[in-house]
Amino acid sequence: MKIATYLSKNRFLLIGILLLIFLRIPSLFEPMWYVDEGMYATISRHLNNGYNLYTEIYDHKPPLLFYIYALLGDDQILFKARLVNILLGIISIIGIFAFAKKYFSPRVAKTAFLFSAVLLGSPIIEGNIANAENFFLPLTIWGSYFALSNNKK
């Protein structure tokens, strides 16, 4: 209930989240056209079939990405990965808002939040593709937020 109360008081957050979801919905139904997504799916299938990463199957991405894909199973893996990508996009834009609110003005925070919702939701910078950058962006944003928040000089 706290989340619903917070969103009702900060409607722009709900608008930004819905905007990101709206922009990303078409990606859920696109055919596999991005080579990296196919490679992640292939490697994850091999992991699920007992292959060893980096000795029997290889790609130059960090292992966590392949294990995330592998956890999604083999059935409809790209659809599931793109759903996870939407969730991680929401976590990213909320992190951008929290970061900007802490270190800048509320107006800058709202602008950064909405601007990032558009950019991360659209294909302009491949925000709609379930790739490594989008999967690790929330970790980078929130890691920076907490690292700077705990910096006691």
In the chain, domain spans: 2-149
Q: What's the Rg (C-alpha) of the chain?
A: 17
Question: How much is the pLDDT for 20?
Answer: 95
pLDDT category at 118 given cuts 50, 70, 90 is very high
Long-range contacts of 65-71 (CB under 8 A, 24+ apart): 65/40, 65/132, 65/135, 65/136, 66/40, 68/135, 69/40, 69/41, 69/43, 69/44, 70/44, 70/45
Both tokens assigned to 144: 């920076």
Both tokens of residue 81?
Answer: 């990965």
Say yes or no to pLDDT of 75 above 60: yes
**Residue 153 pLDDT more than 60?**
no
